Amino acid sequence: MERNRGFSINGSWVKPQGCDRHIILNPATGEQVGTTLMANRIIVDQAVDVAERAFPAFSRMSALERSDILFRAAALIDARTDEMAHLLTLEQGKPVADNVKEISFGAVVLRYYAEEGKRIWGSIRPASSPDIRNLVSYYPVGVAAGIVPWNYPVDLYCWKIGPALAAGCPIVMKSPHETPLALAMVVDCLHEAGLPAGCIADLPGLGPVAGAALAEHPKVRVISATASVPAGQAILRAAAGNLKRTVLELGGHAPFIVTADADLEEAAMAAHRRSFSNMGQICITVNRILVDRRVHRVFAGLMADLANATVIGDGRDPTIGYGPVLNGSVIARTQAHVHDAVNKGGTLLAGGHQPSGMEFARGHFFRPTVIDNAPLNSLPMVEESFGPIAAIAAYDTEQDMLNIANGLDFGLAAYIYGQDLEHIWGLAEELDFGAVGVNVNDTSDLQAPFGGWRMSGLGRELGPEGLESYLETKHLKIRVRRRI
């Protein structure tokens, strides 16, 4: 496929003059994988204008027709998953098996909204007068925009385009300039599936340039972004110009709670996987592990053993379960968090350094890191590391644990492990987070809403709730003429 990509606008790939070009590097080797043009405000304006012109016809298309397009696109993605997964590994670094899982779920999301879009029905509501009828119905809100990060680009792309297209909203996507290549294949699948020209635009670019242009654009009626807290705040301020709807999935700082009666081996394996999957570059990754002091020492030892035994390497190697981080900035941030925690009194149990050896020399690798007795004011306990580091702290009482877990402004995901379900269910209900995994280390599920409390965001994706942001409500109050 073409690895020197441009923009998808009005159903075609274009490479206009005057745009910067970004070089895409393999995080495991430092080798050039391809390049992409970078969208500026002029390009964003062009794409939004095209989407606005496409909106009337697309919004009037039947839900069944839009559903058929999404089903066909999902089938095409399934047929190309292996090729797409290998390409995503080249540009992002995750092992191929993890990318197959990501891309396959993206296709499932499209199928889900292909069905949900056919269920946008209205209702007749009771009225205060016998000669009045209240009809409530729903309409697509207008041109949508989406901003997607580089860590799970295909998956999160589908989270946004699925409900938007199912609702009848053309969407302009600011894809990540770090990982735009596999997404180009997704766009091709949509066009081959029969999506009308102008109903999707794909514009790699920088958040402060292309993302900001979309957030403040007066013709964009809804914007959905997966981003950092500062980026989300900037989007919200810019969106105020025309009161556009915002769906913001922002930073997280997930606590992983281990109670005294938890199966410690099971909990440690779950915490290890959720801490170091994609090298911690996940919004719902485990940041801080809070362990009942009575089992703290045993649990910390299990975590250290698992981290030390973890084999990392090039994600193209089928025997590798953990790959590189994306770039040097992730390593620098992780190192800063390690040094801060250790300098404040934490104990380094595993990792904390870049691996040696020729196979790691040109890539961005960092050993899975475990810090025990991390002070509560140390960086990994208060800031999102977004890297391969797990910090452990012991607690004495459940109230102490709840105070620590709920003590930050983040509220995206939390996890709790224990064998007394009634007990940990009660504790889970006291955790101030948008989702809590109870004896499970993943909080996302296709049919349930995903999103955060407080500084972790606004609105919800997935589930029926994911469709609501792309719909306007209309009330028709009708007087009927009665014969008697």
CA atoms of 9 and 280, how far apart (whole Å): 34
What's the Cα-to-Cα distance from 207 to each of 20, 92, 227, 290, 458, rounded to whole Å?
14, 18, 9, 34, 18
Q: Which residues pair with 70 in a beta bridge?
A: none
What does the buried/exposed string (b/e) look like for 25-35 if buried means 16 or more CB atoms within 10 Å of the residue's CB? bbbbbeeebbb
Nearest alpha-carbon partner for 22 in 146, 174, 179 = 179
Give me the catalytic one of 158, 216, 283, 468: 283
Q: Which residues lie closer than 8 Å to 125 by C-beta, 6 or more apart?
A: 134, 135, 136
Active-site annotation holds for 249: yes
Give me the catalytic one of 102, 178, 216, 249: 249
- The token pair at 315 is 């994600």
CA atoms of 109 and 353, how far apart (whole Å): 38
CA atoms of 298 and 398, how far apart (whole Å): 19
Active-site annotation holds for 283: yes
What's the Cα-to-Cα distance from 399 to each of 297, 395, 407, 431, rounded to whole Å?
20, 9, 12, 11
Q: Which residues are tagged catalytic?
A: 249, 283
